[in-house]
């Protein structure tokens, strides 16, 4: 049985996919009031109101320990900044004999590490029992049942394939690879660049500039991934056939890397792009956070990547400038004049 930790838009979309496939789920709610609302009205009162649930498939809980203990597969779908507080009441062996599936597209800011490294450190979760669900996939389009793709990654690729079968529907296709670190870093970086795309939009730059900015961001992302040891970076080159899926092996042009970057930078559903647009229009960080009323993962990620890159040493003028705009109060117009000079 699946357990879902998180009750925001992405968690709600994942709950929809599983229950559309007639899976019973244990679902962690933020409050008793939210649980009562879903039980009564069959929809999440705060997110994706169009999604109607078969409540006979839902076991709604406000106790994280109960959700974890009752589930074989645990999906963590909270914003990265809330993971530590959400899990801190669990025992050290809470995830023993369980498969943990990350739907977190950010770095744990308190530790400045990826979720799998945090879970190994705090709960002894081995990498073989850790999997990821990544995009490109907006929750709103899942709710509308518009065809989307999810990428499942795991060191144990056969189990990743098995997990993916629970999510395949008429409106959702699944892709599998074994690149756990690559897909997580790509998901983190694309949120930073989407913030930058939003800032550019807010400043009044047009589509021509945006296309150059995103192309350079893709190149910058690939450079970072290469420096941290990720393979299959070269576009147009596929290193043989995947032994499990029997498809050609994914490279950096695959949907989970370049595709997720593109949709997050361009889509009006993108909260990171929206956050950046407000910054470009003169909002302060606090004003943008209040207006958005949702977490833009790229904000904390920009600081975390800035710290990590001191060791990685990738050339990242775009990400560094976005960090300075968000954290060092660099004027967005001045920052983008610097970015203009760095683009090729």
The pLDDT score that the predictor gives to residue 295 is 81
- At how many degrees (to 10) do helices 317-327 and 297-312 cross? 130
Residues 57 and 132 occupy one common structural domain: yes
Q: Can you give the C-alpha Rg of the chain in angstroms?
A: 20
| Entry field: residues in the chain | 344
| Sign of CA pseudo-dihedral 163, 271, 105, 75 | negative
Boundary residue ending a domain (141, 156, 178): 178
Contact 105, 74 (CB under 8 A): no
With tokens 């229009």, the residue in question is: 281
Residue 22 has pLDDT above 90, yes or no: yes
Beta bridge partners of 26: 3, 59
Residue 235 has pLDDT above 80, yes or no: no
C-alpha count within 13 angstroms, C-beta hemisphere, residue 280: 21
CATH number at residue 232: 1.10.1040.10
289-299 pLDDT tens trace = 888 887 889 99
Boundary residue ending a domain (156, 178, 200): 178
11: its two tokens:
């968690």
Residues 289 and 204 occupy one common structural domain: yes
Residue 253 has pLDDT above 90, yes or no: no
Q: Secondary structure of the chain: what % helix, strand, coil (to 5)?
A: 50, 10, 35
Please state, in angstroms and rounded to a whole number, the distance separating the CA atoms of residues 134 and 181. Answer: 12
Please state, in angstroms and rounded to a whole number, the distance separating the CA atoms of residues 179 and 185. Answer: 10
Task: Work out the pLDDT band at 66, boundaries 50, 70, 90.
Answer: very high
Residues 217 and 332 occupy one common structural domain: yes
Note if 190 is an active site residue: yes
Mind giving me the DSSP string for 142-163? HHTT--EEEEEEESSHHHHHHH
Please state, in angstroms and rounded to a whole number, the distance separating the CA atoms of residues 229 and 232. Answer: 10
Residues 36 and 164 occupy one common structural domain: yes
> What domain count does the chain have?
2
The pLDDT score that the predictor gives to residue 320 is 98
Residues 32 and 155 occupy one common structural domain: yes
| Residue among 16, 105, 190, 324 flagged as catalytic | 190
Residues 166 and 185 occupy one common structural domain: no
The model's pTM? 0.93
With tokens 């050290």, the residue in question is: 92
CATH number at residue 94: 3.40.50.720
Contact 72, 98 (CB under 8 A): yes
Longest dimension (CA), the chain: 58
Mean pLDDT for the chain overall:
93
Residues 59 and 170 occupy one common structural domain: yes
* Beta carbons within 10 angstroms of residue 268's beta carbon: 9
The pLDDT score that the predictor gives to residue 4 is 98
Task: Work out the pLDDT band at 236, boundaries 50, 70, 90.
Answer: confident
Mind giving me the DSSP string for 177-233? ES-HHHHHHHHHHHHHHHHHHHHHHHHT--HHHHHHHHHHHHHHHHHHHHHTT----
Residues 157 and 193 occupy one common structural domain: no
Residues 208 and 158 occupy one common structural domain: no
Residues 95 and 22 occupy one common structural domain: yes
69-109 pLDDT tens trace = 999 999 999 999 999 999 999 999 999 999 999 999 999 99
Of 198-207, 232-241, 281-290, the poorest mean pLDDT is in: 232-241
Domain with 98 in it: 2-178
Please state, in angstroms and rounded to a whole number, the distance separating the CA atoms of residues 79 and 113. Answer: 14
State the average pLDDT over residues 154-178. Answer: 94
Residues 7 and 156 occupy one common structural domain: yes
Residues 187 and 173 occupy one common structural domain: no
The pLDDT score that the predictor gives to residue 208 is 96
Among 127, 10, 17, 21, residue whose Cα is nearest residue 76: 10
Q: Give the 3-state secondary structure of 281-310.
A: CCCCHHHHHHHHCCCCHHHHHHHHHHHHHH
The pLDDT score that the predictor gives to residue 252 is 74
The pLDDT score that the predictor gives to residue 237 is 74
State the average pLDDT over residues 240-249. Answer: 72
Boundary residue ending a domain (157, 178, 199): 178
């Amino acid at each position: 049985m699946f357990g879902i930790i998180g009750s925001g838009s992405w968690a709600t979309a994942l709950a929809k996919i599983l229950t559309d496939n007639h899976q019973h789920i244990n679902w962690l709610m933020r409050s008793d009031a939210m649980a009562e609302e879903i039980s009564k009205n069959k929809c999440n009162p705060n997110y994706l109101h169009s999604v109607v649930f078969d409540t006979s498939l839902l076991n709604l809980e406000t106790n994280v320990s109960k959700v974890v203990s009752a589930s074989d597969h645990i999906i963590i779908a909270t914003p990265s900044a809330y993971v530590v507080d959400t899990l801190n009441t669990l025992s050290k062996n809470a995830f023993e004999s369980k498969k943990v599936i990350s739907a977190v597209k950010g770095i744990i800011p308190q530790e400045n590490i990826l979720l799998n490294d945090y879970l190994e450190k705090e709960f002894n979760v081995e990498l073989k029992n850790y999997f990821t669900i990544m995009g490109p996939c907006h929750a709103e389009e899942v709710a509308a049942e518009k065809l989307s793709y999810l990428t499942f990654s795991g060191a144990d690729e056969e189990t990743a394939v098995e997990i993916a079968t629970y999510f395949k529907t008429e409106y959702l296709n699944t892709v599998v690879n074994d690149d756990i670190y690559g897909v997580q870093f790509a998901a983190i970086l694309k949120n930073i660049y989407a913030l930058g795309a939003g800032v550019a939009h807010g400043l009044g730059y047009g589509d021509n500039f945006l296309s150059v900015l995103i192309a350079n961001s893709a190149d910058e992302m690939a450079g970072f991934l290469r420096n941290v040891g990720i393979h299959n970076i070269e576009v147009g080159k596929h290193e043989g056939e995947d032994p499990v899926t029997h498809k050609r092996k994914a490279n950096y042009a695959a949907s989970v890397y370049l595709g997720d970057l593109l949709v997050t930078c361009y889509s009006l559903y993108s909260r990171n792009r929206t956050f950046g647009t407000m910054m470009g229009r003169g909002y302060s960080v606090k004003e943008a956070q209040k207006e958005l009323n949702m977490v833009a993962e790229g904000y904390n990620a920009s600081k975390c990547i800035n710290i990590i890159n001191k060791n990685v040493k990738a050339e990242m003028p775009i990400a560094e400038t976005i960090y300075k705009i968000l954290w060092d109060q660099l004027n967005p117009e001045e920052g983008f004049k610097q970015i203009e000079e760095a683009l090729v």
